[in-house]
Amino acid sequence: MITVIGSMNMDLVTITNREPAIGETVLGENFLTVPGGKGANQAVAAAKLGAPVKMIGCVGDDLFGEQYINHLKGHQIDIKHIRRLKNEKTGIASITVWNNDNKIIVVPGANKRITPEIVESHREEILKSSWLLLQFEIPLESVERALEIAAEGNVNVIVNPAPYHDIPEKWLGKITYITPNEAEANQLFSAFANRENLLSKLVITKGKDGAEYFDQGERVSIPALKVDAIDTTGAGDTFTGALAVALSEGLPLKESCQFAVKAAGLSVTKLGAQAGMPSRSDLNK
């Protein structure tokens, strides 16, 4: 079982050919409201590839919350551990897509109310997992509690450090892999005194340049799939979800990265964070 503790956002996506300057109004091309959030994106990526997935997190008691839970159910994700919080809003992300790239502002809403106590109340679920996926769209003290519980049961953990925050050195021993993008990896390098220890945990996503990790200090590059990118939102989440699936099936790191790079490559060929995430048969084509 892959367990994700993390965010669920409704993504409010505007597609434009040109970004407005400050104080300027431009006409956009399209608008869509679609499920997103780094936590749920990773959960859906893994579930679409056929893994059993459990989502732990919070939504509000608004329409977005109800829609989100139904959406995850539709992907056969275990939603028993998602709380609907009274008088709270579901998280949203305001996303502008232009030029095959994006800018994102997240308003966390219910996601910021995933407390360490809520995480603690799911101790048994965490300990039953083979892999646990964590990101930084929930409070850091809750991420820390999840890591402590996982470490007690030797549960494998992937931390996706986004949005960026330094990773305390004391966390490193409890993490199996860290999946930053290039900018986040550079920030991590500057923050760490003991880079050797960090290096062995890193699997860096590099967009159209694929991914890389370090084998005993030697850089291993995994080339990207050649695709026409339409929307790169959620590509890193697809990578992390797919990486967990491959590792949970016992593939070595190199093959797992190849699997994840392919999944992430396919994911950018459709609009919306989750729409392009491949199924197992898409991946095997």
Work out how close the CB of 173 gets to ligand RIB at its nearest, in angstroms, rounded to a whole number: 27
* Residue whose CB is less far from ligand RIB, 10 or 188: 10
> Which residues would be at the binding site for ligand RIB (CB under 6 A)?
7, 9, 11, 36-38, 41, 93, 104, 106, 137, 233-234, 236-237, 273
Alpha-carbon span 49 to 53, nearest angstrom = 10
| 166 neighbors 197 (Cβ within 8 angstroms) | no
Amino acid occupying residue 262 = K
First CA to last CA across the chain, in angstroms?
Answer: 25
Per-residue buried b or exposed e for 56-86, using 16+ beta carbons within 10 Å of the residue's own CB? bbbbbebebbeebbebbeebebbbeebbbbe
Q: Is 228 annotated for ligand binding?
A: no
Q: Is 154 annotated for ligand binding?
A: no
Amino acid occupying residue 246 = A
Alpha-carbon span 89 to 197, nearest angstrom = 39
* Residue whose CB is less far from ligand RIB, 2 or 149: 2
Q: Is 30 annotated for ligand binding?
A: no
Q: Interior CA angle at 139 toward 138 and 140, to 5°?
A: 110
111: left (phi over 0), alpha (psi -120 to 50) or beta: alpha
Work out how close the CB of 95 gets to ligand RIB at its nearest, in angstroms, rounded to a whole number: 6
* Residue whose CB is less far from ligand RIB, 94 or 258: 94
Residue 50 in tokens: 């056929």
Alpha-carbon span 92 to 137, nearest angstrom = 11
Active site residue 237: yes
Work out how close the CB of 92 gets to ligand RIB at its nearest, in angstroms, rounded to a whole number: 8
Q: Which residue is nearest to ligand RIB (CB)?
A: 36
* Residue whose CB is less far from ligand RIB, 32 or 253: 32
Q: Is 39 annotated for ligand binding?
A: yes
* Residue whose CB is less far from ligand RIB, 7 or 256: 7
Work out how close the CB of 235 gets to ligand RIB at its nearest, in angstroms, rounded to a whole number: 8
Q: Is 24 annotated for ligand binding?
A: no
Work out how close the CB of 218 gets to ligand RIB at its nearest, in angstroms, rounded to a whole number: 29
Alpha-carbon span 40 to 8, nearest angstrom = 5
Q: Is 40 annotated for ligand binding?
A: yes
Annotated binding site: 9-11, 37-41, 137, 181, 205-210, 231, 233, 236-237, 267, 270, 272
Annotated binding site for K(+): 231, 233, 267, 270, 272
The residues carrying an active-site annotation are: 237
